A and B are shown apart, each in its own frame.
Chain A
Amino acid sequence: MSALAISPLHRAARFWEAPIGKKAVMAITGLILFGYVIGHLLGNLQIYSADHQQINRYAAFLHNPANAIPLWVIRTALLAAVILHIVSAVQLWLQNRAARPLGYKKKADVPTSYAARTMRWSGVIVGAFIVFHILHLTVGSVLPVHEIAANEPDVRYNVITGFQNPLVAGFYILAMILLCMHLYHGLWSMFQSMGFSHPRYTPLLKKGAALVAILIAVGNISIPIAVLTGFLTL
């Protein structure tokens, strides 16, 4: 008689110990964060609305104290996803670095693997950017955050004034380019990590991942460009 000799908790711990388990955690948390990136982009693009208050109304909706519970549930989930994503990545990185103590004098790389090989750097920079981005537009410790009323931030004002600073805009654009690379690799690699690969679909998947990643980057980058070129003004 066979039995489940192992508790679910123990099972999860052993899963986490295995590199393939960690990659699965990265894939799932990556997917959650990808969902957030899409949602965030849709929010951002409202800045182009002819109705200048559109984006501010959206912000006010999110900040409405009545929505506090769902907001914090989502924020907690996102935070957990970020932490798991980063912790897995760091642990794998350390293990993998230890797997080759002495490097090559000369090492060639496969050109198509550039995005994959630079995941940790694009990840670190995007991570730093996220911190900056929250400090800038949510916490307000970079530039003062304007509010129309309590819990009703003037997003349009904050974004446009922020991006009028070329350094802020430049960092934003750089981060979005790296995010694009990170997403490109992450989006198809997530399928590989979860065990899906097929000679017919994987190449399509890679193309699709590139397209989605580029669209996201273009959508986001368009905003500082629009500000800097004077297309978006207060």
Chain B
Amino acid sequence: MRIILHIWRQRNATDQGRMTRYEVPNVSEHMSFLEMLDVLNEDLIAKNEEPVAFDHDCREGICGMCGCMVNGVAHGPLPGTTLCQLHMRHFKDGDELYLEPWRARAFPVVKDLVVDRTAFDRLIAAGGFISVSTGSAPDGNAMLVPKEKSELSMDAAACIGCGACVAMCPNASASLFMAAKIAHLALLPQGQPERERRVKAMVGQAGQELFGSCTNIGECEAVCPKEIKLEVIARMNRDFLKASWTGREE
């Protein structure tokens, strides 16, 4: 099939950027979306045009490196799927696709479809961890975790940090990302000692990174490739409210 692409081209962080039209003939339905872009890039190189820069790595939906907006939807039309796992059989001959990078003040564009997501790392550095010095942990079975809690925790821990939630959110909020980590750790007994510090520190950091805030719209949940639920944001809100009013430490 033939696919028409309108791709955001931007040389570097300071360049203005613009949409450019390309055509990819002979797209196989078995190709992944990124393989279709590979084919485009090989064509561009053959024509001495610079290939489109896009982030990708594992191509099996787990590293969280890839992703762009496809016709205004983060990671494209298939729910619960990263861009690398999206296959061309979900498109049809002659489709016109608009590819744009994640857009948020906290995610500046580096080049073309590549953005800088280091703000996510700083959110984790602010408190998204359990402090346990190597070697100091007790036996793995010393602390029991009810299966239901463990499963819920795993649901939240499945986040791959791709940034689709921020990209899709009308407010460019990182709430789903942040809340997934907070919920993952707060659901486990190991996460209790630092629970209040963690939520306060991470929420504070999100403000400094200039992410927007959650207004309970739910677009993040709709595009999350790991189908993380809005419920985690409620958990974060609850923990934050509690920590704000009852916490003693400063």
A residues at B contact (CB < 8 Å): 2-6, 11, 14-15, 17-24, 92, 95-96, 98-110, 112-113, 116-117, 119, 185, 189, 191-199, 202
Instruction: For the complex of A and B, list the 6 residue pairs with the smallest distance between their C-beta atoms, beginning with the closest.
Output: A195-B238, A19-B213, A197-B234, A99-B212, A96-B171, A108-B72
| Whole-angstrom CA separation of A51 from B59 in the bound complex | 74
Counting chain B CB atoms within 10 Å of each CB, the highest count among A2, A100, A196 belongs to A100
- Check B207–A19 contact: CB distance below 8 A: yes
* B244 adjacent to A100 (CB under 8 Å): no
Does any Cβ of A come within 8 Å of B190's Cβ?
Answer: no
Give the residues from 191 to 250 in chain B that come closer than 8 angstroms, CB to CB, to chain A: 203-204, 207, 210-219, 222, 229-231, 233-242, 244-245, 248-250
- Of B103, B211, B236, chain A has the most CB atoms within 10 Å of the CB of B103
A185 to B218, CA, bound (A): 11
19 further interface pairs, Cβ-Cβ under 8 Å (given A5-B248, A196-B234) = A11-B245, A18-B207, A18-B244, A21-B244, A92-B215, A96-B213, A99-B171, A99-B210, A100-B171, A102-B103, A104-B103, A105-B6, A106-B98, A108-B72, A109-B219, A110-B219, A195-B240, A197-B231, A199-B231
CB atoms of A96 and B170 under 8 A apart? yes
Q: Quick check: A192 and B234 within 8 Å, CB to CB?
A: yes
Q: Does B105 count as interface, using CB distance less than 8 angstroms?
A: yes
Chain B residues near A113 (CB-CB < 8 A): 217-219, 222
Question: Chain B: which residue is nearest A197 at the CB level?
Answer: B234
The answer to whether A18 and B222 have CB atoms under 8 Å apart is no
Query: Is B69 in the interface zone, CB < 8 Å from A?
Result: yes
- Residues of chain B lying within 8 A (CB to CB) of residue A191: 234
A5 to B106, CA, bound (A): 33
| Distance, CA A119 to CA B217, complexed state (A) | 10
The count of residues in chain B whose C-beta lies closer than 8 Å to any C-beta of chain A is: 49
CA distance A105 to B96 in the complex (A): 14
CB distance from A217 to the nearest CB of B (A): 21
Q: B249, A100: Cβ atoms under 8 Å?
A: no
Q: How far is the CA of A110 from the CA of B73 in the complex (A)?
A: 9
Q: Which residues on B sit within 8 Å (CB–CB) of A103?
A: 103
**A20, B216: Cβ atoms closer than 8 Å:** no
User: Contact between A15 and B172 (Cβ–Cβ < 8 Å)?
Assistant: no
- Number of residue pairs A-B, CB distance < 8 angstroms: 144
- Cα A118 to Cα B236 in complex, Å, equals 24
CA distance A3 to B249 in the complex (A): 7
Residues in chain A near residue B244, CB distance under 8 A: 11, 14-15, 18, 21
Q: A96-B171, A100-B172, A106-B71 are in contact. Are A20 and B215 (CB under 8 A)?
A: no
Which of chain A's residues has its CB closest to B170's CB? A117
Q: Which B residues from 134 to 157 make CB contacts under 8 A with A?
A: none
A99 and B214 contacting across the interface, CB-CB below 8 Å = no
Specify which chain A residues have a CB less than 8 angstroms from the CB of B170 in the assembled complex.
96, 100, 117
Q: Mark B113-133, 1 if CB is under 8 A from A, else 0.
A: 000000000000000000000
Answer whether A105 and B19 are a contact pair too, CB < 8 Å, given A23-B215, A119-B215, A192-B216.
yes
B86, CB-defined interface residue at 8 Å: no
Chain A residues in 8 Å Cβ range of B105: 98-101
Chain B residues in 8 Å Cβ range of A99: 104-106, 171-173, 210-212
Residues in chain B near residue A24, CB distance under 8 A: 237, 241
Of listed B69, B215, B250, residue having the most chain A CB within 10 A:
B215
A19 nearest in chain B by CB position: B213
State how many angstroms separate the Cβ of A3 from the closest Cβ of chain B. 7
Closest-by-CB residue of B relative to A3 is B248
Contact of B237 among A2, A17, A194 (CB under 8 A): A194
- How far is it, in angstroms, between the C-alpha of A24 and the C-alpha of B229 when the chains are bound? 20
Chain A residues with Cβ below 8 Å from B204 are 18
B220 nearest in chain A by CB position = A110
Q: Are B238 and A194 in contact (CB under 8 A)?
A: yes
Say whether B112 faces chain A, with CB atoms less than 8 Å apart.
no
Chain B contacts for A198, CB-based, 8 A: 231
Identity of the chain A residue whose Cβ is nearest the Cβ of B69 in the assembled complex: A104
Is the Cβ of A110 less than 8 Å from the Cβ of B222? Answer: yes
By the criterion CB–CB under 8 Å, are B214 and A23 in contact?
yes
B248 close to A116 (CB less than 8 A)? no
